[in-house]
């Protein structure tokens, strides 16, 4: 017998979905007899082999397991039901501060009202907030402006699922009355916004971008929607996402990049990023599991913040990976994202993965006191876009920042651990696969969800646990690197940093930094230690106040 790792024979009594699917308990098939030959087939898939005696001994146990699976599947599990095991990204001995101080945004006392509606539409939140507070513009006028732009451009971009016109105007008028009566809720008072259509809002369809769910109505309110409403935000629409939170292909087509309509907007927060880029809303909420804020923010030339895992509640959001899903804002600037984050931040009893932590940003803090590193080897060579990345380092140096070279070196290869996402996704959409509903998804290529979910059922439970154990090591090793610096600058897609930081739960701020040869935007990413997003905002604000990359507008939508 040839066993890897020389584990005792009882370790193989439970081999996960791999064996049971391969042994006649396949998707959409009747259960057949488990035989030594079927065990051989399953064992080949996971790189193991067993003696005839061991196979004979296993048959009874495997049959019992399969019967138990059949019993379990009589219980319907809604997507909102999470596993009993909750992921915690905190390294040993690390706890975020919960001492919340007063926030100083450093907003100007006065902002000039543009004469052009287009100029008004492309203003960032931190300027619109001053205009509303000073009553130079009303929430109703802003809301009408963005609603009209959505009506004009959303079909071209294929970025809208549901327009909430009546509800938005009613809310905007009420907020204007509040302001006139002296009640001001804060910088988001009267500011229109959109959400990715995987967040539940009563009375609206929550389609998850996928044909099997295109008429789904979930009668609950996502926590982030409740918080934004309480802060004075005006929800104007629900924007597209790639089906089940991957890519930019949804049941209505392909969401477009406003800079290049022949190109998709990337995903999965496709509609949120496209809409912000085209001036249809000043900000929108996205989610990221493995690049779904960073990638569309890059493609569309907007600023995306992926917060620390556990900082923002996911209650009312579609689950793809309970241990990797994160919620964050997409906007026109780092400061705008900070304003939104301050509202969304906080633990929620409805999401057991949330972690209480303060968010203490102040414009008075000196960015030059921060210790800033950069992954030096990622800035070497002649790859596409590297000059744009180097330009950010030069900008920081010109602002008097000392940059410290650092290498991203870990003993753990992050690539295999991404399979945890695939297993969790397959579990979240178990019925989609078992009932054959996956055939209704638009994308059916080998890398699309239908095939990915099917294949993920052959990843053994033992290997999933081993991935989780290696992830624990990765968390400690990444913490050892990050704690030496306040912020680390990195190309957005170089090396394994995107995979690693999504697995370890570290926050990231993705900023525009120019354009590629094809005319589409490029980006740079800032990383910080867990729950230190205020440092990302400090550095991001410095970069954006000394450059104009984020102020560029896609020409077709700037008229």
Return the active site residues.
196, 268, 292
Rounded to 5 degrees, φ, ψ at 128 are -60, -35
Instruction: Judge residue 343's burial from the number of C-beta atoms within 10 Å of its C-beta, 0-12 exposed, 13-18 middle, 19 or more buried.
Output: buried
* 189 touches 134 (CB < 8 A): no
Q: Residue 426 to residues 349, 419, 455, 456, 555: CA-CA distances in angstroms? A: 26, 11, 9, 6, 41
b (16+ CB within 10 A) / e for 375-389: beebbeeeeebbebb
- Give the DSSP H or E segment for 143: helix 139-157
* 259 touches 169 (CB < 8 A): no
Instruction: Dump the DSSP string for 48-96.
Output: ----HHHHHHHHHHHHHHHHHHHHHTTS---TT---SS----PPTT---
Instruction: Judge residue 61's burial from the number of C-beta atoms within 10 Å of its C-beta, 0-12 exposed, 13-18 middle, 19 or more buried.
Output: middle
* 271 touches 255 (CB < 8 A): yes
Which tokens belong to 384?
Answer: 């596409």
C-alpha R_g of the chain: 25
* 458 touches 45 (CB < 8 A): yes
CA distance 56 to 278: 64
């Amino acid at each position: 017998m040839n066993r890897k790792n020389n584990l005792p024979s009882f370790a193989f009594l439970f081999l996960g979905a791999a064996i049971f699917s391969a042994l006649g308990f396949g998707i959409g098939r009747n259960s057949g007899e488990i035989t030594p030959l079927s065990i051989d087939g399953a064992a080949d898939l996971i790189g193991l082999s067993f003696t005839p005696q061991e196979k004979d001994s296993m048959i009874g146990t495997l049959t019992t397991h399969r019967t138990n699976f059949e019993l379990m599947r009589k219980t319907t599990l809604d997507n909102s039901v999470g596993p009993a095991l909750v992921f915690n990204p905190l390294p040993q001995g690390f706890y975020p501060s919960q001492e919340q101080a007063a926030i100083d945004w450093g907003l100007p006392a006065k902002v000039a009202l543009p004469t052009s509606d287009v100029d008004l539409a492309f203003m960032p939140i931190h300027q619109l907030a001053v205009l509303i507070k000073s009553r130079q513009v009303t929430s109703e006028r802003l809301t009408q402006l963005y609603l009209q732009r959505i009506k004009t451009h959303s079909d071209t971009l294929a970025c809208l699922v549901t327009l909430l016109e009546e509800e938005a105007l009613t809310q905007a008028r009420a907020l204007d009355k509040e302001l006139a009566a002296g009640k001001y809720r804060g910088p988001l008072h009267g500011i229109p916004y959109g959400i990715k259509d995987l967040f539940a809002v009563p009375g609206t369809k929550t389609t998850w971008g996928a044909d099997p769910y295109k008429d789904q109505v979930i009668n609950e309110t996502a926590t982030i929607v409740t918080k934004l409403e309480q802060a004075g935000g005006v929800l104007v629409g629900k924007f597209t996402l790639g089906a089940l939170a991957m890519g930019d292909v949804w049941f209505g087509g392909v969401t477009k990049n406003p800079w290049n309509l022949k190109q998709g907007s990337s995903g999965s927060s496709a509609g949120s990023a496209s809409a912000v880029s085209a001036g249809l809303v000043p900000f929108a909420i996205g989610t990221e599991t493995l690049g779904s804020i960073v990638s569309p923010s890059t493609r569309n030339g907007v600023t995306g913040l992926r917060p620390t895992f556990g900082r923002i509640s996911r209650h009312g959001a579609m689950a793809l990976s309970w241990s990797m899903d994160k919620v964050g804002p997409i906007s026109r600037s780092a400061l705008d994202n900070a304003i939104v984050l301050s509202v969304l931040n906080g633990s929620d009893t409805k999401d057991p993965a949330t972690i209480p932590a303060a968010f203490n940003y102040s414009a008075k803090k000196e960015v030059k006191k921060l210790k800033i590193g950069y992954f030096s080897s990622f800035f070497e060579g002649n790859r596409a876009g590297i000059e744009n990345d180097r330009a950010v380092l030069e900008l920081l140096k010109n602002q008097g920042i000392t940059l410290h070279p650092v290498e991203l070196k870990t003993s753990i290869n992050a690539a295999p651990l991404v399979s945890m996402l695939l297993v969790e996704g397959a579990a979240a959409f178990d019925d989609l696969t078992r009932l054959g509903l996956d055939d209704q998804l638009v994308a059916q290529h080998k890398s699309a969800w239908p095939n990915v979910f099917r294949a993920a059922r052959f990843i053994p439970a033992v290997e999933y646990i081993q991935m989780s154990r290696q992830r624990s090591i990765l968390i400690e090793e990444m913490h050892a690197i990050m704690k030496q610096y306040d912020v680390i600058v990195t190309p957005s897609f170089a090396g394994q940093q995107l995979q690693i930081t999504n697995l370890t739960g570290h926050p990231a701020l993705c900023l525009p930094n120019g354009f590629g040869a094809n005319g589409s935007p490029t980006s740079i990413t800032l990383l910080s230690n867990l729950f230190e997003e205020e440092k990302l905002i400090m550095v991001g604000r410095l970069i954006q106040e000394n450059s104009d990359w984020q102020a560029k507008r896609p020409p077709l939508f700037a008229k």
